[in-house]
Structure 1
């Protein structure tokens, strides 16, 4: 009887936690979607979405601490069926994140502790921290606090500058000059403002400036002809 009551309590608690996890996942998905697709997103909108995620996580923690929720630490999760083949039901349940429940993936899916390498690094860091004296720890905390304060000052100053520039800037920025556009069109269509280029070969052959050459060239006023009489004897006539 006691085991049945405990089993029932476990099912109810797991179902409640599942609903809370669904809410957390939904809030995370909305934030990711907003970051990737919303061009008008600003810092305040991001903080609002982040606050929603924080609220869902707090609700999940309260549910875990609830008196009707069993202590999950005393339960062990063991896989009943392992297969390297694709499981469509598993794909559906995990929203296409997990396709197989195989031997090589189970240690990562059901892991409740970090990997041994990470645990060793964490232990080394804790030992190093415990080896520092109280004075050294206090000095390091003071340095970190100073760096944090200066960084916050820099962030606030940059934010105020950006907000000032944004408020003083006109709604529609002018990115073109109408006069320059008209001059460019006149140059393309009518050649206005373009200079005549002299061929390089001609400039090298004549040391006289082109303008002076054009001034010295005169068009002939008349065409002189020399017409001889038809009875004039041909020089080679026999």
Structure 2
């Protein structure tokens, strides 16, 4: 028991600095996001994520090492609950926990999720267990998903092809719009503009209309009048005088019922 206690203390001494480093890195990253979001670049964000990832991997290797005892086998129990303010506890928790009372113990010493969360997780596990075998997937050594059967492989290939078609179509539309914006279509023709300017200012290319002569108009008017007179005379000549006289005499008729 004494040996296990010393091993646990040594493991905790190695574990606490790594957890503290992760805490400091997260706090620094959050401060940058809150105060330097206008000048922060994406490579800087990736560097912070890479730092956190390396620290978490180091912590995971420490927890899996042979010298680290199985912490899940140890139970953490509160020995004393005090509703009064504890200065030492406040200092150790950096002001997050002011008193170790009945209100904070269930949250800080919880080893299982809350009942509502645990119920939702159980529903997800139950739903995952009801999935058909044809739709299940396995992982390759390189952590990539592999379909279990040929039908699922064909469906996955079809989905991938559709996504590629959509991406290519969007790329072509984007390139066309970019080319149109960089090379706008001309809205004027300089040659036509020059022709219009020359025609407006100098009368170039315009045909001059010939005005009819006054004598010509008088001759045309006299000719029209003569033609009309000849036409009227010709029409009177075609009419022949009537030489047949018609005498209509009243015929006497004897009416059968004539009065005497």
Task: Output the TM-score relative to the length of structure 1.
Answer: 0.57
Counterpart of 1:9 (choices 1, 7, 10) is: 7
- How do residues 1-238 of structure 1 correspond to structure 2 at under 5 angstroms? 3-38=1-36, 39-137=38-136, 142=156
Measure, in 1, the Cα distance between the counterparts of 2:102 and 2:156.
Answer: 49
Once the two structures are TM-superposed, the CA of residue 121 in structure 1 deviates from its matched residue by 1.3
Once the two structures are TM-superposed, the CA of residue 133 in structure 1 deviates from its matched residue by 0.6
Measure, in 2, the Cα distance between the counterparts of 1:104 and 1:84.
Answer: 9
User: Counterpart of 1:194?
Assistant: none
Measure, in 2, the Cα distance between the counterparts of 1:91 and 1:33.
Answer: 22
Measure, in 1, the Cα distance between the counterparts of 2:19 and 2:79.
Answer: 24
Measure, in 2, the Cα distance between the counterparts of 1:128 and 1:65.
Answer: 31
Once the two structures are TM-superposed, the CA of residue 40 in structure 1 deviates from its matched residue by 1.3
Once the two structures are TM-superposed, the CA of residue 36 in structure 1 deviates from its matched residue by 1.2
Measure, in 1, the Cα distance between the counterparts of 2:117 and 2:156.
Answer: 29
User: Counterpart of 1:161?
Assistant: none
Structure 1 ranges of 4+ moved more than 2 A: 134-139
More contact order relative to length (CA 8 Å, sep ≥ 6): 1
Once the two structures are TM-superposed, the CA of residue 142 in structure 1 deviates from its matched residue by 4.6
Task: Output the TM-score relative to the length of structure 2.
Answer: 0.52
Once the two structures are TM-superposed, the CA of residue 37 in structure 1 deviates from its matched residue by 1.4
Measure, in 1, the Cα distance between the counterparts of 2:84 and 2:121.
Answer: 36
CA RMSD, Structure 1 to Structure 2 (Å): 2.8
Gaps of 5+ in 2: 137-146, 172-260
Measure, in 2, the Cα distance between the counterparts of 1:17 and 1:142.
Answer: 44
Measure, in 2, the Cα distance between the counterparts of 1:126 and 1:72.
Answer: 26
Measure, in 1, the Cα distance between the counterparts of 2:121 and 2:29.
Answer: 31
Distance 1:91 1:83, change over 3 A: same
Measure, in 2, the Cα distance between the counterparts of 1:110 and 1:99.
Answer: 15
Q: Which is greater in Rg?
A: 2
